């Protein structure tokens, strides 16, 4: 069929109107989803993403639209260390970072860990939280209780307790003499990963940490010796938000023991 010049102009106008309608419909999505290329630096990785107003979030069923995970979990240059990109196919999609509706009595800035579901929530207020997938303690190392983030460190050295060395004599050959004793220098091969947040009760170190991991495939599983593991990119994100003194609540789960008792092991 041959169209006249007038018909072509009409079709062009209709197409333009249709595209404008698509852009208008997608505006709520574009306000939530980061569409930048994978970050090349830590600064760009930590640049906050726009968040949809609560009215838009509610219309999406309570959870924010899926973010661009290839960017969030891409490689990051963090000082002298490189955090490698995460192989997303090795992690359950439910354990990837997401802003969700979350009702809790805990104050904004608090952290709630749900070991049974392998989730960690950073409470943001207004009924919202950032949810991260985590790895938790294996059988015999599951705990319940409250703690406080005493301090936090980037690329921390690791000083495993002597009880762990006794359980894992293979670790002995990986240790070296550090400033505070036998340990392992911080870096990509360190089990504490890119960030660590140290959990205390009063003036006593529980010896448990919330930390990154060089074994991202362990997220969503119960394999640790009581620490809360996070994907390194998620540990960096939480680290940038949570402040020393923040309350950490670990909910009860099957086989859980009070943190005071388990910390003595």
Report how far residue 168's alpha carbon sits from residue 101's, in angstroms, rounded to the nearest whole number. Answer: 41
Q: 129 lies in a domain?
A: yes
- Stretch 197-224: mean pLDDT: 94
14 forms bridges with which residues in the sheet? none
Q: 2 lies in a domain?
A: no
Report how far residue 39's alpha carbon sits from residue 46's, in angstroms, rounded to the nearest whole number. Answer: 9
Pairing of strands 247-250, 81-83: unpaired
pLDDT of residue 206: 92
**Which of residues 4 and 218 earns the better pLDDT score?**
218
Mean confidence (pLDDT) of the chain: 79
Q: 113 lies in a domain?
A: yes
Give the closest residue to 73 by CA, choosing from 205, 260, 249, 230.
230
Q: 143 lies in a domain?
A: yes
Give the DSSP H/E element, type plus range, for residue 132.
Answer: strand 128-137
Here the CATH number for the domain that contains residue 120 is: 2.40.440.10
Q: 22 lies in a domain?
A: no
What is the model's pTM? 0.73
116 forms bridges with which residues in the sheet? none
What is the DSSP track for the chain?
-PPPHHHHHHHHHHHHHHHHHHHHHTHHHHTT---SPPPSSHHHHHSPPP---HHHHHHTTTSPPPP-HHHHTS-EEETTEEEPPP-GGGS-GGGS-EEEE---SSPTT-EEEETTTTEEEEEEETTEEEEEEEEEE-TT--EEEEEEEEEEEES--B---HHHHHH-GGGGGG-EEETTEEEB-SSTTSTTTTEEEEEEETTEEEEEEEEEES-GGGTTSEEESS-EEEEHHHHHHHHHH--TT-EEEE---TT-EEHHHHTT-
Give the DSSP H/E element, type plus range, for residue 241.
Answer: helix 232-241
Q: How many domains does the chain have?
A: 1
Give the DSSP H/E element, type plus range, for residue 260.
Answer: helix 259-262
Q: 39 lies in a domain?
A: no
98 pLDDT more than 80 = yes
pLDDT of residue 99: 96
13 pLDDT more than 50 = no
Residue-wise pLDDT for 59-75, tens only, equals: 334 565 567 899 999 99
Q: 34 lies in a domain?
A: no
Residue-wise pLDDT for 106-132, tens only, equals: 999 999 999 999 999 999 989 999 999
- Stretch 93-107: mean pLDDT: 96
The DSSP code for 186 is: S
Q: 83 lies in a domain?
A: no
- Stretch 192-204: mean pLDDT: 96
- Stretch 140-148: mean pLDDT: 89
**Which of residues 50 and 116 earns the better pLDDT score?**
116
136 forms bridges with which residues in the sheet? 222
Instruction: Lowest mean pLDDT of 63-67, 95-99, 101-105, name the range.
Output: 63-67
Structural domain span for residue 124: 91-156+192-262
pLDDT of residue 65: 56
9 pLDDT more than 50 = no
134 forms bridges with which residues in the sheet? 230
Q: What is residue 137's three-state secondary structure?
A: strand
Residue-wise pLDDT for 234-260, tens only, equals: 999 999 999 999 999 999 888 778 877
- Stretch 186-214: mean pLDDT: 94
């Amino acid at each position: 069929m041959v169209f006249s010049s007038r018909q072509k102009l009409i079709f062009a106008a209709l197409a333009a109107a249709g595209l404008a309608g698509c852009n208008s419909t997608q505006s709520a999505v574009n306000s939530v989803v980061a569409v930048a290329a994978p970050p090349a630096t830590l600064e760009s990785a930590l640049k906050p993403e726009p968040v949809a107003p609560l009215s838009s979030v509610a219309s999406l069923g309570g959870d924010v639209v899926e973010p661009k995970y290839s960017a969030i979990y891409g490689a990051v240059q963090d000082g002298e260390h490189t955090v490698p990109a995460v192989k997303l196919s090795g992690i359950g999609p439910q354990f990837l970072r997401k802003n969700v509706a979350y009702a809790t009595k805990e104050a904004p800035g608090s952290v709630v860990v749900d070991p049974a579901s392998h989730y960690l929530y950073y409470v943001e207020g207004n009924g919202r939280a950032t949810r991260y997938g985590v790895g938790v303690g294996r059988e015999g190392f599951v705990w319940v209780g409250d703690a406080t983030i005493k301090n936090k460190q980037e690329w921390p050295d690791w000083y495993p307790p002597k009880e762990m060395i006794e359980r894992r004599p293979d670790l002995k050959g990986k240790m070296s003499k550090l400033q505070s004793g036998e340990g392992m220098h911080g870096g990509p091969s360190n089990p504490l990963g890119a960030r660590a947040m140290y959990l205390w009760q009063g003036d006593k170190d529980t010896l448990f940490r919330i930390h990154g991991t060089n074994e991202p495939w362990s997220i969503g599983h119960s394999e640790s010796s009581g620490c809360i593991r996070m994907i390194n990119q998620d540990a960096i994100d939480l680290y940038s938000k949570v402040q020393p003194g923040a309350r950490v609540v670990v909910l009860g789960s099957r086989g859980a023991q009070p943190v005071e008792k388990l910390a003595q092991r």
